[in-house]
Amino acid sequence: MREAAIALGLALTLPAVAATNAQDASFGCKEAGPVFPTAHASCSSFLSGGWPGCPEAATSGGNIGYQPYQACSAGSVSVSAASVGSTYGIDPNGSACATAHDFQNYQMQLSVYNQAVSGQPGLPLQAPILPTIPRSTNSKPYYVDLDASGATTRLFFSVNGQ
């Protein structure tokens, strides 16, 4: 009978101990179970500029970002034009892709064109054209980079409930 009373007493104190451990965890950490903590952050801290670190889960803080487009194919670069009729430049957030070869040719032709516009006779007055392909949009454009034990993982998500 005495052993049953001790077991009951211990069982009643365990939830209080577990709750205390969870409260003592660093900001951004939450006990996922009795053994492993995981990194969680409140929405307000998440959206205000960074994912907090969680030493208990061996993670450091992470960068939060927005990547509206999917990556260009291998051998291509993402480009954009500042406005209609302006020249293209490499832009990691650009809405179009061009092959690296086409972009290099475009840059050389643009240099010749700019010299012609500045009044050097005998040079072409036709502006160069860069062949581009529109980039596909990301269905989950937001991301957080989490560093756990020296390896960074990029996790994509959507705020539209997808």
Indicate whether 152 pLDDT > 50. yes
Task: Taking the CA atoms of 61, 67, 71 and 75 in sequence, report the sign of the dihedral they define.
Answer: negative
Q: What percent of the chain has pLDDT over 90?
A: 29
**How confident is the model over 63-73, as pLDDT tens digits?**
888 899 999 99
Report how many domains make up the chain. Answer: 2
Q: Are the CB atoms for 39 and 29 separated by under 8 Å?
A: yes
Q: Are the CB atoms for 88 and 106 separated by under 8 Å?
A: yes
The pLDDT value recorded for residue 77 is 96
**How confident is the model over 20-77, as pLDDT tens digits?**
444 444 555 555 555 555 555 555 555 555 666 666 666 666 788 889 999 999 999 9
59 and 40 in a single domain? The answer is yes
29 and 63 in a single domain? The answer is yes
The pLDDT value recorded for residue 154 is 87
123 and 153 in a single domain? The answer is no
52 and 108 in a single domain? The answer is no
Name the token pair of 22: 């969870």
52 and 109 in a single domain? The answer is no
Per the domain annotation, does 162 fall within a domain?
no
Domain range enclosing 117: 76-134
Q: Alpha-carbon distance 125 to 113, whole Å? A: 6
87 and 119 in a single domain? The answer is yes
| CA proximity to 132, closest of 91, 78, 85 | 78
- Band (pLDDT 50/70/90 cuts) for residue 16 is very low
Per the domain annotation, does 103 fall within a domain?
yes
86 and 60 in a single domain? The answer is no
Write down the pTM of the prediction.
0.56
Per the domain annotation, does 147 fall within a domain?
yes
